[in-house]
Structures are given as structure tokens and as C-alpha cells.
Structure 1
Amino acid sequence: MSTKPAPLRRFMPYLLRYKGILLFDLFCAALTCICELVLPLMVRTVTNMGAENPAGLTVGFIVRMGALYGVLRLVDAAANYFMANTGHVMGARIETDMRRDAFSHLQKLSDAYFANTKVGQIMGRITNDLFDVTEFAHHCPEEFFIAALKVSISFVILSRANLLLTCIVFALIPVMAVCCAFFNHRMKDVFQKQRRQIGELNARIEDTLLGERVVKAFSGEEVEKQKFEQDNSRFLNIKRETYHWMSAFNTTTRLFDGLIYLVVLVAGSFFMRAGRIQPGDLVAYMMYVTTLLTTVRRIIEFTEQFYRGLTGVERFCEIMDADVDILDEPGAVPLQNVKGDIRFEDVSFEYPDDHHKVLHHIDLHVRAGEKIALVGPSGGGKTTLCNLIPRFYDPTDGRILLDGQDIRSVTLQSLRRAVGIVQQDVYLFSGSVYENIAYGRPDATRDEVIQAARLAGAHEFITALHDGYDTYVGERGVKLSGGQKQRISIARVFLKNPPVLILDEATSALDNESEFAVTQSLARLAKGRTTLTIAHRLTTIQSADRILVLGGTGIEEEGTHAQLLAKGGVYSRLWNSAQALNETSL
């Protein structure tokens, strides 16, 4: 049985942060409610006096009544302004707080979460789903508070006019509520479906736009249109279902409105004929019933907004409930003066989602400053082994030490600051060249950024760009070539200046000229650092201090390039196959 709090309970701490604004908002709501409820009393007084004592309707009396109502309207206007302005800002602040917490929580989630969750769904939950929270946060307490006041005050006033008629009218309201509850439940279900489908639609659009070059290369425009049309049609069908239940809901409320007015008109007329209610009281009664029905109808109509907001809160909770697998252990301390000595002690690893075991009892010592190369077939665990060092995942068994300290006993921030990664698939943020390099160390000076670019062999091509370091690189760096993006990523790591370096097939996707330039940059970057290089091109790792061959059973071979060739094992076969492939291509 789940012990997680209900969405409303999860939402309350955000609301209570602004309890001062909330309380004053409710006070203003009470003022508007009182101003509205006073008018029927004034009309009753004037009507009864006109019917029973016309002489009492003096000019002074009428002016006083008008002045009183004018003052009430001014109070109502001021209170309503605060509710509409500051109250909505409070809701926007709550939405901002929730979005901030959701984004912060996403930063803590492991790669496993993002591997199993569509980015479009995540984006929908922290943007669209929280839009309705602003209205929900503001109107939810306000509307229910106003409704409670109007219903209770109306009941007291109407009971004094005619208790029997009041009981008849109020007896119909629960029946109306029960009938509407059925439609409310249906509406909630369909709003949840609508939210999920918006996420799917976002994911579809994102997938197509990010892969637009592949789409064009394979003439897949029609295929993508068909996929989009399917998702778009599903969304239309859900919207149809939404409006079906909304229409049924609104029709029910209108029917009950008519029924209650009919009861008041017929029964009230009989009571007035029998002398049990005065004409002014019946007029006031009709006005109060109108106010009452407007309040009930507003609450019912607000139910749509309520469920939209509640659905947004529920989907927010789904993000916040995602378990943080990788976090600082209690008592974790920052790494200091990192040398780069790494030990794997009986390390095994399996992915948590499918329990596929990748690493088996790995024992490995990488000395500070040593250059290690990892080779082997795809799926052998090379990238996984390297990903364990910055704790993108934690080992299933065993432990990893950095300078003699278990990496789980040090803070994540200091650990990841000590590790630099250059990957095959370079990711550049939408922004300038300068901003992408400076991401390696945001507090760096411009001179330090330029020096990092020089070391990475990127300064010359950057200065040749239209705006130099201020050139916009486009989404994911699409305005730059593969070699240019790679050298910018290397400059980013140069600026970070980590003692441990991981090169994950950093040159495998480049042409020969770009590979040569990037290889030179990587050689400068690796100098004096503990370096682990994952490579498919064996020619790039001949100078490594040690080469490890990873296979299904773990580290199958270990040694220098010359030693492994002389051994005539797995590495030798890989080398000979690579040489034969090169000769065939020539």
C-alpha cells in the first residue's frame, strides 16, 4: 500500500509559504461576499417600505441607501482588485516554486530515469501541466471560501424570510451535487488522459524536429506526417470526449437552475397569497436564490479548473516521486587535491531497469597519470565502466576508490568536478561559442576561455567565424562541423582542468583531417592526467601505457600494444581485422 501523501497534501506546503497573502486574499473575498449579499437586503427594505409605508421613502432615506451601496461597491472594487492582481501573482509564485523544485529534482535523477522517460513528457510536466496551477492555487481556497460564506449566510437570511421554502430549495442542492459528481469524475479521468496525450504529442514533435535531417535524408516526411496525424487524432478524440462530459455537466446544472427557480416562483407565490411571505421578502428571496445558484454554478464550473490544476499537481508529484538513485551519502566530504589514482575492487554492475549484467567482478588499478585504453566488442561494458567513475551509475557490487577514498563517501559535485569527459556525440548548448566553452568553469575570465580554446586547437577556426567567440552555434551546435564541435568540447574540458579524463570514442565519427586535429588536441589535454580512452580505432591507442580488453567475462587481456600483439589473443585478432579492413578500403 502506497504511503505517499495525496496530491493536495503535497501541494499545501507551497500554498502555506504565502499564508499572509492567502489570508488577506480570503479577507478580501469575504468583503466582496458581504457587499454582494447586502444588496438583496436593501432591495427588500425598499420594496417592503414602498408596499406598506410609501411615505417612509423620503429623499434622505433614498440618498442614504444609495450612498451606502456606493461605498460598498467601492470596497468591493478595491477588494476585487487585490484578489485579481496579488492573488494571481501568489499563484504564479507557487507555480514558479513547483517548477523550480521539479527542475532541481530532475538534475538529481540518474541516467536510468531519462533512458526510460520521454523528454517530451518531462517537458510537458514542468511547463504545460503547471500552467493551471496558478489559477488552481489562487482560486481553489478563494472560491470554496466564498461559496461557504454565501451558502451559510444565504441560508440564515432566507430561513428568516420563510423556513419551509428555504428547506425545499436547499434540499434540491445536494441532489444537484450528486448528479454533477458523476460528471465531475468523468471529467477528471478525461483531463488526465488529455495531459498524457499532450506529453505524447510533445514527444512526437520533438523527436521529428530533432531528427529532421534523417527525415529528409530518407524522404520520411510522409511517414512522420502519418505518425503525427495519429497522435493528433488521438488528442482530438480525447478533446471530443472532454467536451461531451463538459456539455452534459453544464446541461445538468442549467436544468437544476430552472427547477429551483420554478420551485421558488410557484411555492413563493402560494406563500405570498397565504400571507406567509411579504412581497419584498419574495423579491429578496429570488435575488438570494440567484446569488446562491450563481455560487453553486461557479463552484461547479470551477471544478473543471480544479481538476486541471489537480492533474497538474499529480503529474508534478510523479516527477518528485521518481527515486534519486545517485546522491550524496550522509557525511560525504569534498575531494581535495585529487591526484587521479583509481581502483576498482570486485566491481559488478547490472542495469536496474532490465537487470542486464554488464560488468563482472572487475579488479583494476589505474595509477595517477597513467594512460589506459579500453577496447573490446560493443556491449562489453567499456562505457559503463567509465560511467561508474563520476557516479552516473553506482556499482551493483564492489566499490571504486579515487585516491584511496570510496567515491560514495565524497560529494558528487567535487567528484564530478574532478572528472572530465569528451564523448563521441558532442552536445553543445544553444548559445554562443564562448558560453559553451565557459560552461567548463563559469567563473573563468575571457582570457582563460580563449587560452583553453588555443590549447584545444580551436582558436583559429573560432576567430574565423562571423562573430568569433560570440557566434551562435545553433541547436545542439548544428551550425558547426563535427570536428569544430569536438574541439569546442575539448576546450570546455581544458577550462575545467580535471585530474581524471575519460575519452569516449572521441574521434570515431570524424573525417581524417578533423581526426588528426582533434587527436593532437586530445594528446595535449591528456598530458599529466589520468586518462581512460574508449576506442574502436586501435591505431589511436598504440601509445597507451596499458590496453585493457573487456569482454563478457570481464578484463580478458591486459598489456601494452606490443605485448598484446605478441600474445596472439583477442587484441591481436582485433588488430589484424582492423588492418585487413584498412587495406580493403584502400
Structure 2
Amino acid sequence: MSDQVTARRTAAFLWTYWRRYPFTGAALIVLMLLSVAFDVAFPIVSGRLVDAVAQAGFPPAAEDVDLAVFALLLFVGQGVGFHLARRASMLVWAGFAVRVMRDIVTEAFHRVQRYSAEWHSNSFAGATVRRITRGMWAYDTLADTIYIGFLPTGCVLIGVVISLAFHWPLVGLYVLAGIVLYFALTIVLIKYYVAPKNRLNVAADSVVGGAIADAVNCNPVVKSFGGEEREDARLGRLTQDWARKAARAWRAMDIAMLAQVGILMALQAGMIGLVILFWTRGEATPGDIAYAMTSYLLINGYLRDIGFHMQNLQRGINEIEDVIRYADTAAEDRDDEGLPALRVDGGSIRFERVDFRYPNGNGAFYRGMSLDIEPGERIALVGRSGSGKSTFVKLLQRLYDADAGRILIDGQDIAGTTRESLRRAIALVPQEPVLFHRSIGENIGYAKPGASRAEIEEAARLAHADAFIERLPLGYDTLVGERGVKLSGGERQRIAIARAFLADAPILVLDEATSSLDSETEAHIQQAIERLMEGRTTLVIAHRFSTIRRMDRILVFDDGRVVEQGSHAELMTRKDGVFRRMQAAQIATNRNMFAESA
């Protein structure tokens, strides 16, 4: 996320959204140009009004009054026309901006949801959320700056310069030179002086947002270790860094604006001075002087805001960079388009000479892993931490792709099918279930879109979750809190098991699914899991060997290899077997823990 996004890439990103609404875009341009035309006419009608009054005698003749009234009508008409055209453009712009902002945030969310597991494991969730929402509002700032700031500014300045050059070529040339110098200085200061400081400020802002989200999400850990003051101190250091960088960015903008004011003062003195010179020669009327003064005020008004617009433009570009990078980051399912869905009948699994290493180089890696699992077979995966058990399941789900070899389900290479259909064919009950901050019913029903309340309640009953759910005041409509924090570990586990019942997938993965349950509840759940495993290919990642005695086959992993396999009874007959030694060590550990607690 560190590569700088170019201005051209930012413009292309905006254009991809703007071109979706061509008729609205055309209407916006026409209305803005109409308001600009009225604005450019302001100095002209002002000068004519002054001439109409100044050239009349006293008392004024009837024709002088008529001329003054006509000039007044032009003056008022110009103001009315400008405001009507500008307000109409703003009304259309509001609807246009809302549609584009909605597109940006929903599409950024869509892409982030489809990034790889590796990407998400390396990213702060809080910082990602902040980047997406900040990018949406950055577009608002950026688009407003372009449409409401730069478009009318550029058109008005061009119009005024042409108008002045038509009256006095020398004045027009002087004003043009002053405007070009103003823009050149502003661009150089913003690009090389202000922008680098703004970019550092934005990065520090993301760090602060990510740190707050991280601490809030881990608040139970903070409370467990009495770490509130440590988190305060940590955030204090980060906000101090942000404050220092923010102050530098804001001071840089103030210094840039001071340089711009100097050019504006020189422009004012030279422009009005030239017109006064023409007046002394009889080449300018009082109305011409009023015309020149109002032209300068118009130019000054627009140029004075250029610094502000440039600041907003640069800030908007800096803040939308992350969303543009998301648009340029390939989603993991980018190659799924046109692929067939996986069709699972029996649920056989085959690993054919699979090689794999994690992108970060950590964890277990496979070298020529080959393995066959029959339809409906119950398989336990055991081994020390980091031996390759979880990697097996991640490869099966295509959370990571194999570097070499093939993984087949019912004879179909999973790399040639859509990830969505593959993952729908696998029901996972993790060791530490994560729930949405939604109702219990919604969390269970997530496994089967469109599931009825009766189906959800039946799944809860099968998972022995119905009893505790019905005791809650709102029952299935109870909100579970962020990540399910309002429920106990055992209750969250039962919700996850209910999901698996509802998913009714042909392949089932259990990651020590009863580890958070008390002994009595575990007995009920084991009965439910036995029913759940019937007719399904089941993979059980086992940490407690007492849960795998009834498995058809046990795979013993070590350093990314299956070093032993067989039934529980077969493995226990091997005197120097790895599995037997592991089970003996676990039994001894459990005895020591029991003795100490006694």
C-alpha cells in the first residue's frame, strides 16, 4: 500500500464512475457553463450601469433615465440568471455525487471482501474500514473541488481575460501573465512543498484509526491485563506523531497562500494602474474603470480560492489513494469468471503431488503431498502446532492456492471451479467461532441464504443451542455483540455448529468443535455431531485425542508431511509410533494438571 498513485490514475479512476451517467454529466456541464457566462457578464453590466449614470446630466433627461433603467435591468438580470443557473447545477450535482459515492464505497467493499486470506491477515481491519469510508468522503471533496472549484474558475478566468483583451490588449496580456504565474507558483508549492507533508499526515491518520480500532476490538484483553494506561500511552504517542505531521501540513499551506497573496497584490496594482493610465489619456470612461475594478474583484475572488481548491484537491487525492489501490489490487476470485461451479456428489478428496509454501515463508509447507480420502470417510488430522493440519484445510478451501500439483474433489480440480461453489460445499466449525454483530437467527441463517425461521430453529435444536436461545428475552432476535462478545465461548460454539447443520454441505470440517463446552454439553454435542457426520466426508482437526477414537482414519502430520496414518487402534499398536508417543505425552500432561488442581 505504499506505491504513490499518479494524478493520471486518479483522473482515470474518477472517469470510470462519471462516464456511467453521461446525460447527467452533460446537464451538469451545460448548467455550469451557463452560470459562468452570467458571471463573466457581471463586470460588463456593472461598467455600463456606471456609464449610464455618470454620463447623464442633472436633472437627467428622459432618455438618460431610460438608459440607466435598462442598464439596471441588465445588472439585476445578470445576478438572477447566475444564481438560477448555479443553484440548478448544484441540485443536479447533489444527486450525481450521492450515486457516485455509493458506487465507490460499495465497490471498494466488494473488492476487499474478495481479497485473499493472506491480504486480510496482513491488514488492520480498523484501518481498512477507515480507508474505505475516508475514500468515499475524499471523492466528495475531490469532485466538489473539480466541478464547483476548478471548472467555473478556469472558465471565468478565460472569459474575463478575453473580455479585457478585447477592450485593452495590454491589460488582457498583463492579467493573463499574472494568472499563469499564480497557477505555476501554486502548483509547484502544492506538489513539492505541501503534498509530501499532507501525505505523511494522511498516513499518520490511518495509523491512529487502526490503533483505536485494534484496542477497542481487543478490549477484553486490555481489561484482563489492566492495560488501559498502556493503551492510552500508546495512542498518545501515535496522536503526538499525527499532531506534529498535521501541524507541518497546515503550516505549509499557510506559507503557500502567503506567496499567492503577493502575486494577487501585484496583479491588482498593475491592472488598475494600467486602466487609470488609459483614463488619463481619455481612452477609458468611468464605467471602464468600474468594469476593470469589478473584473479584478471577480478574478481575485476566484484566484483567492485557488489555494483552497488546490489544498482540497491534494488532500482529496491523498485520501482517495487507498481506495484506488483497492481498485488496482486483484481479488482472489478474479480468475473465476467463466469457470463452472463445483458439483459434489460423494465428497472424495485427492491431493496429487501438492507443493505449497506460505507467501510470507512462515508455517508448514508441503512437498509432493499425495493423499486420497474416500466419500463419507471420517478423517482426523493430528500433529503438533505448525505441522500442517490447518494448511490442509486452507488449501482445500482455496484460501491459498497450491504452488504445484492438484487438489480434486469428486475428480474435479478445484482450481478449475469457482471459489464460491467450492466453499459452499464445505461446512466449517472453527475452534474459535466469529459471529456477526447481528441477531442469533441471522448468524445461524448465514449458512443458508433464504432459510426459514423453522429451518433455523431446527438447526439450533440439533446443535443443542435452542435451550439457551429460548431463555434470552429476545430469543432468536437477540443481538450477539461484535464478534459474538455477548455470548459465552460454548454458546458461540453451538451457534457455529448450528450453522454447519443448516449448511448441509457434503464436506464437513471440525476444528476441535467441542473445545469450549462443558462435559455435559459436550456429550450432547457429540451426539449431534455424530448425526451431522453421517453421509458426509469429515475432517476433524484434533487437539484432544480423546475426540478421535471413532474416526475411520487418523493422519499424523509433521513438518508438512503425513508421517503416519491408520485407525486409532492400528496406530496405538505401533510401539515407537509418532501418534502413540504424542498421545502418551498428552495423557501425562493431563494427569499432571489434574494432580496440581487437586
TM-score, length of structure 2 as denominator length: 0.93
Contact 2:344 2:410 survives alignment (8 Å): no
Decide which moves more: 559-568 or 501-510.
501-510
Q: Choose which of 68, 72, 77 in structure 1 pairs with 2:74.
A: 68
Contact 2:464 2:524 survives alignment (8 Å): yes
The answer to whether residue 13 in structure 2 is matched with residue 13 in structure 1 is: no
Change (3 A) 1:57 1:216: farther
| Distance of 2:277 and 2:133 partners within structure 1 | 57
Write the letter of the residue equivalent to 2:19: L
Change (3 A) 1:334 1:556: same
Alignment-derived partner of residue 124 in structure 1? 130
| Distance of 1:121 and 1:238 partners within structure 2 | 18
Alignment-derived partner of residue 109 in structure 2? 103
| Distance of 1:251 and 1:442 partners within structure 2 | 60
What's the offset of the Cα at 1:356?
5.7
Write the letter of the residue equivalent to 2:86: N
Query: What's the C-alpha RMSD, in Å, of the aligned pairs?
Result: 2.1
- 5+ residue gaps, structure 2: none
String of CA shifts for 1:467-518, please: whole Å, max 9, x gaps. 1111111111111111111101111111111000011122334444444344
The answer to whether residue 410 in structure 2 is matched with residue 407 in structure 1 is: no
What's the offset of the Cα at 1:409?
1.6
The answer to whether residue 236 in structure 2 is matched with residue 233 in structure 1 is: no
The answer to whether residue 203 in structure 2 is matched with residue 200 in structure 1 is: no
Q: Choose which of 89, 94, 98 in structure 1 pairs with 2:95.
A: 89
Decide which moves more: 498-507 or 351-360.
351-360
Taking the TM superposition and a 5 Å limit, the aligned residue runs for 1:137-216 are 137-185=143-191, 186-216=193-223
Taking the TM superposition and a 5 Å limit, the aligned residue runs for 1:309-458 are 309-329=316-336, 331-354=338-361, 358-458=365-465
Contact 2:377 2:538 survives alignment (8 Å): yes
Give the secondary-structure state (helix, strand or coil) at the position aligned to 1:127.
Answer: helix
Contact 1:328 1:408 survives alignment (8 Å): no
Alignment-derived partner of residue 531 in structure 1? 538
Give the secondary-structure state (helix, strand or coil) at the position aligned to 1:536.
Answer: coil
| Distance of 1:417 and 1:197 partners within structure 2 | 40
Give the secondary-structure state (helix, strand or coil) at the position aligned to 2:365.
Answer: strand
Give the secondary-structure state (helix, strand or coil) at the position aligned to 1:388.
Answer: helix
Contact 2:32 2:89 survives alignment (8 Å): yes
The answer to whether residue 34 in structure 2 is matched with residue 26 in structure 1 is: no
The answer to whether residue 573 in structure 2 is matched with residue 570 in structure 1 is: no
| Distance of 1:487 and 1:403 partners within structure 2 | 30
The answer to whether residue 478 in structure 2 is matched with residue 475 in structure 1 is: no
String of CA shifts for 1:433-477, please: whole Å, max 9, x gaps. 111111111211111111111111111111011211111111111
Change (3 A) 1:57 1:32: farther
Write the letter of the residue equivalent to 1:581: T
Give the secondary-structure state (helix, strand or coil) at the position aligned to 1:584.
Answer: helix
| Distance of 2:38 and 2:480 partners within structure 1 | 59
| Distance of 1:374 and 1:160 partners within structure 2 | 86
The answer to whether residue 39 in structure 2 is matched with residue 36 in structure 1 is: yes
What's the offset of the Cα at 1:412?
1.6
Taking the TM superposition and a 5 Å limit, the aligned residue runs for 1:498-537 are 498-537=505-544
The answer to whether residue 52 in structure 2 is matched with residue 49 in structure 1 is: yes
Q: Choose which of 562, 579, 590 in structure 2 pairs with 1:582.
A: 590
Change (3 A) 1:182 1:514: farther
| Distance of 1:14 and 1:95 partners within structure 2 | 9
String of CA shifts for 1:291-334, please: whole Å, max 9, x gaps. 11222222332111212222233221211222334444464212
Taking the TM superposition and a 5 Å limit, the aligned residue runs for 1:269-288 are 269-288=276-295
Alignment-derived partner of residue 556 in structure 1? 563
Alignment-derived partner of residue 299 in structure 2? 292
Decide which moves more: 264-273 or 413-422.
264-273
Contact 1:327 1:412 survives alignment (8 Å): no
Change (3 A) 1:471 1:407: same
Alignment-derived partner of residue 470 in structure 2? 463
Write the letter of the residue equivalent to 1:62: A
Q: Choose which of 301, 305, 319 in structure 1 pairs with 2:308.
A: 301
- 5+ residue gaps, structure 1: none
Decide which moves more: 446-455 or 251-260.
251-260
What's the offset of the Cα at 1:555?
0.4
Change (3 A) 1:46 1:584: closer
Change (3 A) 1:202 1:59: same
Contact 2:162 2:172 survives alignment (8 Å): no
Identity of aligned residues (%): 31
Contact 1:50 1:57 survives alignment (8 Å): no
Write the letter of the residue equivalent to 1:524: R
Contact 2:46 2:294 survives alignment (8 Å): no
Change (3 A) 1:195 1:130: farther
| Distance of 1:75 and 1:169 partners within structure 2 | 26
Write the letter of the residue equivalent to 2:21: Y
What's the offset of the Cα at 1:343?
0.6
String of CA shifts for 1:216-250, please: whole Å, max 9, x gaps. 11111111111100111111112101210111122
What's the offset of the Cα at 1:72?
3.4
What's the offset of the Cα at 1:3?
12
Contact 1:502 1:532 survives alignment (8 Å): yes
Give the secondary-structure state (helix, strand or coil) at the position aligned to 1:344.
Answer: strand
Change (3 A) 1:44 1:70: closer
Give the secondary-structure state (helix, strand or coil) at the position aligned to 1:503.
Answer: strand
String of CA shifts for 1:384-428, please: whole Å, max 9, x gaps. 101111211111111111111111122222111110000011111
Change (3 A) 1:563 1:481: same
| Distance of 1:347 and 1:285 partners within structure 2 | 80
| Distance of 1:490 and 1:239 partners within structure 2 | 49
TM-score, length of structure 1 as denominator length: 0.95
What's the offset of the Cα at 1:538?
0.3
| Distance of 1:263 and 1:252 partners within structure 2 | 17
